[in-house]
Structure 1
Amino acid sequence: MELIVILNPSSGNRKATSFYQDILRPFLEAVEIPFELLETETNGDGERLGRKLRARWDEDTQSQQGGSENVVCAVLGGDGTSHELITGFYHDLFRAQACTSLDTNSSQPPRLEIIPIPMGTANALFNHLHPPGFIPPTPESTLESQLVDKFISTEQDRQNLSSVLSYLDHRRTSSSSTSASQTNRRSSTLVSLPLQKTSIYAAGQEDPIDSFLSHIVTSTALHASLLHVSETLRNDHPGLERFKLAAEKVIDVEFEATLRLFPPPPLTSSASSTASPAVSTPIELFSPASGKFHPVPSASSGVFLQGPWAYCLASTLVTRLEPQFVILPLLERIPPKEGGPGTADLILVRPGRGKAVREAHKEEDRRSQWQGRVRKALGGAYRDGKHVDEVLQDPIESPEGGAEPEGEVQVYRCAGWEWTPTRTSELSHLVCADGAIHQIPDGGRAVCQVVGGLEQLVWVWK
């Protein structure tokens, strides 16, 4: 299957079409990379295109007419466009199912490779892969280097095509070499995308009413709410500023919910003929005092935490949501162990853990203290993720028995979490998956878990 170009003309500042016509198309034609253009037509249409590509792959495989192992898509859009593409492409795996791992007895689904071209608003995935200071690859071929200079006139356009240039470099080297160095180069520019699966349950129901995947972030509380509110501002404020405007509208909201954290599954070793006993893996909490993660005592049912909450967001990979907003720095600073159980980092902000909020007697005083704690907690994300290193200065209870002081924010490393709203407030019932907003029904809950068995399925070109 040839390269597929997914174009979302409505993404971000609506510059994707002109970028394709003026830069990407003539460049791909000049370097002789065959491609097919698929364009979204309505909001959410990326899922339809994902289903279309999957159906085509299935037909090619069944007819034995060269069904490719990989499907490669250059995505001219934002995080939402790639989210829709993945959701549609793998719609048969988890939709309306309670499972959280790939069925290894079923036929292996195709591998999807994404080449991100950042035409969205936040472009969190692209910004994670290409942080400030990233230098785009330079073609080794003189001719290709000349073509880059001809069609890519600005440094910003060159940055936007970083992943395309990596893919181009791979195509050139793979056609002329099968050496170990070529394999190493591919592994350094192709990154696995661990996925999270979220299921929405109605009150008293054991089967989900909806299930969806996310490859960037899953969130509730302030992050989900500001994205929900920001959609009403998109026409007048298509850029990043609309997120800050939306945040001001919900920064003082106290999101009431019960949160349950799930421990990673036990690890087993089958290296010998006799499998080793399963080894339990604990939920971990980061300590700013020691700069390390420490195990959290928990029952098999997990760890239960009470709100009210300001912020709740999880990711398996992405450290930053904007170029300067590093919300989950520990994914890079202390990366999860290779070969270990699938985990996500979950960041929580609970201003009520401090005396200043808890002991405020007047509503306006509590609201002022609440806002101040939220601004301080999230403001550190704009200082290269320093918020995770701040110690809570006024805990309700002082640490006992030599226990380390708590952080201003809490970062847990776990296999998943369950969010059960305890109020009828609409905002407490919102769940965000890669920017797509979903609703928890009254009395219902959302369960988000890292999906096992998909580590080698979805990849992104760096």
Structure 2
Amino acid sequence: MPLVVICNPACGAGDGYTFVRDHVLPVLDHAGKTVNNVFITERTGHAGEIVVELLKASSQSKQRTTVILSSGDGTLHEIVNAVYSSVGGDLSSVQHLAIVLVPSGTANALFSSLFAGGKDETSTTDPTTQRMAAVQQFIEEGRVAPLTLAKSIVRDMAEIKQEALSVVVTSTALHASILHDSEALRSTVPDMSRFKMAAAQNIKKWYYGTAKLLPLESGEVLRHDSDRGEFVPETAEVEFNGPFTYFLSTVNVDRLEPQFCITPLQKSFITRESMSMDVIMLRPMREEGIEDNDKGRETAAESTIQALSGAYRAGAHVGMRFSKEYNVDKFIAEYFRCGGWQWNPDKADEYAHLLCCDGTIFHIPSEGAAICKVLGRNDRKFLVY
């Protein structure tokens, strides 16, 4: 079984290769695991090119390739999309690819979700040992889990303009605005604080448009009932009018940073058979007394901050109610499990036209829409330790 290492030296703190050299390779050698090649990426898209060639070779040998990937979530996104493009969007003929994550990016959402805690400063586990968790699983021949893929299509009227796969998050509204604006800060603020800076710039924005949730294989859309602590079939309309402050879906992960647990009920994704995604949305006009004006935005921003702060407290925003007395029966966040969604931004709202797929930003055309759907079981060709 071919074993290769791919390092992205440009992501995170820039130690993707040095960590592999100093820690990963010696441990693999000691365990008797032969590394066939070590690649250091040299440009955007290089990791994807490498994996496409590896899979071509493995299809001839019929052997599953394993990649030890020292990078962040963005490089994995790049690899998945390169493979998808190389086969014209038909993954049925692709050999399974096993991936061993060495978290070297900024947020490392997938690794942090698989090995909860990630870079948790409160953990007593040695940071190097934490970072080697997936490598240790590989050495011990632990279980692998197939990744669920979400496919996003950006279209203008009936014509498809762009498409991309996500393995972590797809979003519009505040999250997409944060990722869009934080990119300008990357060179001067390489750590996660740039996301907080971008959040502060956008926290009072409202995003106008409509969102329609698409059903699961069962034909249902499920809403989380926080009073009952379970998902129940949605009985109301599954099309929602804006404005929105937050709209985000995840597959495979319950958190976007080691401590930012935004979809905490995704935690059981490895054992769940249903092909689904979890959706979190915040709609400011649900809070009674809010009006579409500056004062309303100030008040709504407080509720958004309250909810997102709850995500940093083990997902406490799920079940969090509006604070005012006449809103005590309403939950701030609406949480759903579904098969996908369609986002139709208001033509005049520039920021509502931003779409984020695993950190990559797309722009929805003026008369366009974004559609995000979970792909089927036969497309789960990427496995993680």
TM-score (norm. length: structure 1): 0.76
| Compared CA separation, residues 397 and 158, structure 1 to 2 (3 A) | closer
Assess if the C-alpha contact under 8 Å between 1:6 and 1:76 holds in 2. Answer: yes
Is 1:88 aligned to 2:82, yes or no?
yes
Runs of 5+ unmatched residues, structure 2: none
Is 1:130 aligned to 2:115, yes or no?
yes
Is 1:459 aligned to 2:383, yes or no?
yes
| Compared CA separation, residues 295 and 392, structure 1 to 2 (3 A) | farther
Of 236, 243, 256, 2:208 maps to 256
1:357 partner SS: coil
2:50 partner SS: helix
Which residue is 1:45 aligned to?
A: 46
Distance 2:221 2:258 in 1: 29
Is 1:343 aligned to 2:276, yes or no?
yes
Of 224, 242, 255, 1:286 maps to 224
Percentage of pairs with the same residue: 32
Which residue is 1:304 aligned to?
A: 239
Distance 1:460 1:3 in 2: 14
Q: CA deviation at 1:416?
A: 0.4
Superposed CA deviations along residues 77-100 of structure 1, whole A, max 9, x for unmatched, are 0000111111112324564xxxxx
Distance 1:433 1:324 in 2: 20
Distance 1:21 1:134 in 2: 20
Of 367, 382, 387, 2:297 maps to 367
Assess if the C-alpha contact under 8 Å between 1:11 and 1:119 holds in 2. Answer: yes
Is 1:78 aligned to 2:72, yes or no?
yes
Q: CA deviation at 1:394?
A: 5.6
Within-5 A mapping of 1:14-413: 14-35=14-35, 36-58=37-59, 61=60, 66-68=61-63, 70-92=64-86, 95=89, 108-132=93-117, 155-170=126-141, 186=142, 189-202=143-156, 204-205=157-158, 207-266=159-218, 281-297=219-235, 303-332=238-267, 338-340=272-274, 342-358=275-291, 363-392=293-322, 405-413=329-337
Superposed CA deviations along residues 93-139 of structure 1, whole A, max 9, x for unmatched, are 564xxxxxx68xxx54211111110000000001001112999xxxx
Distance 2:290 2:55 in 1: 51
Distance 1:22 1:74 in 2: 15
1:321 partner SS: coil
Assess if the C-alpha contact under 8 Å between 2:215 and 2:338 holds in 1. Answer: yes
Which residue is 1:435 aligned to?
A: 359
Distance 1:388 1:10 in 2: 35
Assess if the C-alpha contact under 8 Å between 2:6 and 2:70 holds in 1. Answer: yes
| Compared CA separation, residues 71 and 238, structure 1 to 2 (3 A) | same
Distance 1:375 1:248 in 2: 10
Assess if the C-alpha contact under 8 Å between 2:152 and 2:164 holds in 1. Answer: yes
TM-score (norm. length: structure 2): 0.91
1:23 partner SS: helix
Distance 2:315 2:327 in 1: 26
Which residue is 1:177 aligned to?
A: none
Distance 2:252 2:52 in 1: 25
Superposed CA deviations along residues 32-58 of structure 1, whole A, max 9, x for unmatched, are 322211222123433222322233334
Q: CA deviation at 1:457?
A: 2.0
Which residue is 1:145 aligned to?
A: none
Query: What is the RMSD computed on CA atoms of the aligned residues?
Result: 2.5
Assess if the C-alpha contact under 8 Å between 1:53 and 1:89 holds in 2. Answer: no
1:346 partner SS: strand
Q: Which moved more, 1:413-422 or 1:282-291?
A: 282-291
Q: CA deviation at 1:383?
A: 1.2
Assess if the C-alpha contact under 8 Å between 2:287 and 2:327 holds in 1. Answer: no
Q: CA deviation at 1:322?
A: 1.3
Distance 1:424 1:155 in 2: 50
| Compared CA separation, residues 133 and 53, structure 1 to 2 (3 A) | closer
Q: CA deviation at 1:67?
A: 2.7
Q: CA deviation at 1:449?
A: 0.4
Q: CA deviation at 1:162?
A: 0.8
Superposed CA deviations along residues 10-50 of structure 1, whole A, max 9, x for unmatched, are 01111112212222233333433222112221234332223
Of 350, 353, 369, 1:445 maps to 369
- Which stretches of structure 1, 4 residues or more, deviate above 6 A after TM superposition? 395-398
| Compared CA separation, residues 132 and 414, structure 1 to 2 (3 A) | same
Assess if the C-alpha contact under 8 Å between 1:221 and 1:430 holds in 2. Answer: yes
Q: CA deviation at 1:374?
A: 0.8
Superposed CA deviations along residues 191-243 of structure 1, whole A, max 9, x for unmatched, are 221111111101x22x4222111111111111111111111111221111111
Runs of 5+ unmatched residues, structure 1: 96-101, 136-153, 171-185, 267-280, 399-404
Assess if the C-alpha contact under 8 Å between 1:94 and 1:212 holds in 2. Answer: no
Amino acid at match of 2:182: S
Assess if the C-alpha contact under 8 Å between 2:262 and 2:315 holds in 1. Answer: yes
Which residue is 1:271 aligned to?
A: none
Q: How many residues align?
A: 380
